[in-house]
Structure 1
Amino acid sequence: MDARGWDERYGQTELVWSSGPNATVAEQVSGLKPGTALDLGAGEGRNALWLAEQGWTVTAVDFSRVAMEKALAAADRRGIALEAVVADVTTYEPDRSYDLVLLAYLQLTWDQLGPVLRTAAAAVAPGGTFLLVSHDLTNLAEGVGGPQDPAVLQTPEQVAGALGGLRVETAERISRPVEKDGETRHAIDTLVRAAAP
């Protein structure tokens, strides 16, 4: 889906995604000292807004103008600062480095995602953290929900192998509870966390 399609989708409802942060993102970030953060493919800003509330100075990037407007409006309502950049993450070049670079459920084909991962890794400041959470390829057969196109799904090994000079701390599949048809089932996600020397 292109930016116009996402603008339409984000414009149809108050929130496409939940207002709170992704649970894995919150868990992984909770022990980090707040600094500067870059959220690539931020959508409506659920993770970026939460990070800002935790004391991070956040730049949220998404190619949907509507999503970024919604994120800024939510930041205003919550009394927090947020820098919102309308840009395509496949061509976006950060102008500085960050203590945290986050990619949460960024659904791109590998020929697009590979370069984004290299850009993201290069944007991690010395001593900083790279964090990716995404739908795992095995979720198609073993999990529930998520995209059904294998071209936009990753594996921990694939992501970890694209991070250049970062030190990979975690590269694993994790199970995420999902409510479906009144029962709890599980989705399978890729989790990769790495640190810059």
Structure 2
Amino acid sequence: MNQQEFWNKKFSRDGYLYGTKPNQFIKNSYDNFKKNEKVLCLGEGEGRNAIFLAKEGFDVEAIDASDVGLNKLFEQSILENVKVKTNCIDINNWQADKKYGAILFTFMHLQIEELKSLLEKIETALKDKGFLIVEVFAKSQIEKNSGGPKDLELLYSMNDFRDNIKSLKIHKLEEVTVELDEGKGHQGEASVIRLIAQKV
């Protein structure tokens, strides 16, 4: 099963799997972004972060492998009266053709070599002074039932980011325990890695 088939199956259920409210870490961090810069949401699924940022006045682009998820994003954007540019593509095939003032992703599940490749592309795609904001599940999430894959190879340590970020200044990199309330998909106590980094 490829990424599109996997996520289309998840997003084909009624309602929004991870809700329509933005990720709390994104909501707490987006004031780093400049309003006149483009924002890119990677692995954006049904669009909760992209729509939130569009409502805040940003020029937002969202990428995801799931056309079902992006169709839900489009439907929600009409209800919220905002515009979000979408691109349906496997994140491993994404090649940046423009520069962004901010790039973000939450709870993507990539093999470590895929993550390394993605971080390299993100560093190229960020404008000078641009921000990368990330929240993903930590390896200790394997013991919890609040969401995420039951596969250590798709969970992360802080070193996975520290060792593979080359040209960004890391402002925050931490593993913390949080209480997730994100639709049916993420509920309860969770172990997460949080990152704020900036191109210098």
- Describe the SS at the equivalent of 1:43: coil
Question: 1:27 corresponds to which residue?
Answer: 28
Length, aligned pairs only = 192
Residues 103 and 132 in structure 2, CA contact (< 8 A), matched pair in contact too: yes
CA distance in 2 between counterparts of 1:131 and 1:178 reads: 18
Report the CA distance between 1:144 and its aligned residue: 4.5
Which deviates further from its counterpart, 187-196 or 22-31?
22-31
Shift of residue 185, structure 1, vs aligned partner: 5.2
- Are the counterparts in 1 of residues 106 and 135 from structure 2 also a CA contact under 8 Å? yes
| Equivalent pair of 2:132/2:198 in contact (CA under 8 Å) | yes
1:63/1:87 contact within 8 Å kept: yes
TM-score, with normalisation over the residues of structure 2? 0.90
TM-score, normalised relative to structure 1: 0.91
Tell whether the 8 Å contact from 1:157 to 1:171 is kept in structure 2 after alignment: no
DSSP-derived class of the 2:196 partner: strand
Report the equivalent of 1:159: 161
> What does 1:88-99 correspond to in 2, within 5 Å?
88-99=90-101
Counterpart code for 1:192? L
User: Hey, what's the Cα distance between the residues in 1 that align with 2:134 and 2:63?
Assistant: 15
Identical amino acids, percent of aligned pairs: 21
Aligned to 1:112: 114
Extract unaligned runs of 5+ from structure 1.
none
> 1:70 & 1:8 partners in 2: Cα distance?
13
Q: CA deviation at 1:139?
A: 2.1
Matches for 1:133-148 after TM superposition, within 5 Å: 133-141=135-143, 143-145=144-146, 146-148=148-150
1:100 match: secondary structure: strand
Q: Distance in 2 between matches of 1:121 and 1:163?
A: 8
CA–CA distance in 2 between the matches of 1:36 and 1:83? 11
1:188 matched to 2:194? The reply is no
SS, match of residue 130 in structure 1: strand
Q: Structure 1: which amino acid aligns with 2:27? A: A
Which whole-Å CA distance do the structure 2 matches of 1:185 and 1:61 have between them?
27
- Residue 28 of structure 1 and its aligned partner are, at CA, apart by 1.4
Structure 2 runs not aligned, ≥5 long? 182-186
TM-fit CA distance, 1:113: 1.6
Equivalences for residues 54-93 of structure 1 within 5 A: 54-93=56-95
1:10 alignment partner in structure 2: 11
Shift in Å, 1:31 = 4.4
